[in-house]
């Protein structure tokens, strides 16, 4: 981050809180005119500091509010099995996030489902068809206390 100046950091912090802000509004916040702010944002995008802009949807309103964290242990560890697992997981739309982790398990999945029956269907019919999975351990979210979509900078 040593190539970023204070204005770049302020731009990133502002966009992190509200990516829908106009260039004109952003320029006012960082005390520059719109053209250099637009150029800075484009540079930050091109250099990969800004990966994409999204709308954060309400899972409850979309009937996907049953959140499960599923720990996965692979049957064996080798490059082919790992690659097959990743390829298979990428095809399951209910899996919102997948992390390769250390410890007792190999991967951590965040899964959005309609309810317990829907999750059971995911486990039996989708995860169950992933041949590289040795075992799973599910943790069900009872209440979301904090969900931040911002990155501390």
Please, where are the H alpha helices in the chain? 6-17, 23-30, 34-46, 79-90, 116-121
What pLDDT does residue 2 have?
62
**Distance in Å from the first CA to the final CA of the chain:** 10
Statement: the pTM of the whole predicted model exceeds 0.85: yes
11 lies in some domain: yes
- pLDDT tens-digit profile, the chain (153 residues): 568 999 999 999 999 999 999 999 999 999 999 999 999 999 999 999 999 999 999 999 999 999 999 999 999 988 999 999 999 999 999 999 999 999 999 999 999 999 999 999 999 999 999 999 999 999 999 999 998 888 998
Residue 114 domain-assigned? yes
The C-alpha atoms of residue 89 and residue 96 are separated, in whole angstroms, by 10
pLDDT of residue 66: 97
Q: What is the pLDDT of residue 3?
A: 86
Which range of residues forms the domain containing residue 89? 66-140
User: How far is the C-alpha of 88 from the C-alpha of 27, rounded, in Å?
Assistant: 44
**Same structural domain, 88 and 24:** no
Same domain, 88 and 28: no
Going from the C-alpha of 86 to that of each of 33, 42, 100, 111, 135, the distances in angstroms are 45, 32, 10, 15, 16
Judge whether 74 and 85 are in contact, CB under 8 Å. yes
pLDDT of residue 149: 87
For the chain, list the strands marked E by DSSP.
66-74, 95-100, 107-113, 133-140
How many domains does one find in the chain?
2
Please name every residue paired with 113 in a beta bridge, in sequence order, or none if there are none: 66
70 and 116 within one domain: yes
């Amino acid at each position: 981050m040593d190539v970023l100046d204070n204005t770049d950091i302020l731009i990133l912090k502002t966009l992190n809180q509200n990516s829908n802000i106009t260039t004109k509004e952003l320029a006012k916040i960082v005390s520059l005119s719109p053209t250099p702010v637009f150029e800075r944002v484009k540079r930050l995008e091109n250099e990969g500091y800004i990966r994409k802009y999204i709308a954060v949807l309400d899972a409850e309103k979309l009937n996907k509010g049953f959140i499960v964290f599923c720990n996965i242990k692979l049957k064996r560890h080798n490059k082919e099995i790992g690659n097959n697992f990743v390829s298979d997981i990428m095809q399951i739309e209910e899996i919102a996030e997948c992390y390769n982790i250390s410890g007792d398990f190999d991967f951590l999945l965040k899964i959005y489902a309609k309810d317990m029956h829907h999750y059971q269907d995911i486990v039996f019919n989708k995860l169950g068809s992933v041949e590289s999975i040795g075992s799973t351990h599910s943790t069900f979210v009872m209440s979301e206390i904090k969900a931040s979509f911002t990155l501390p900078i």
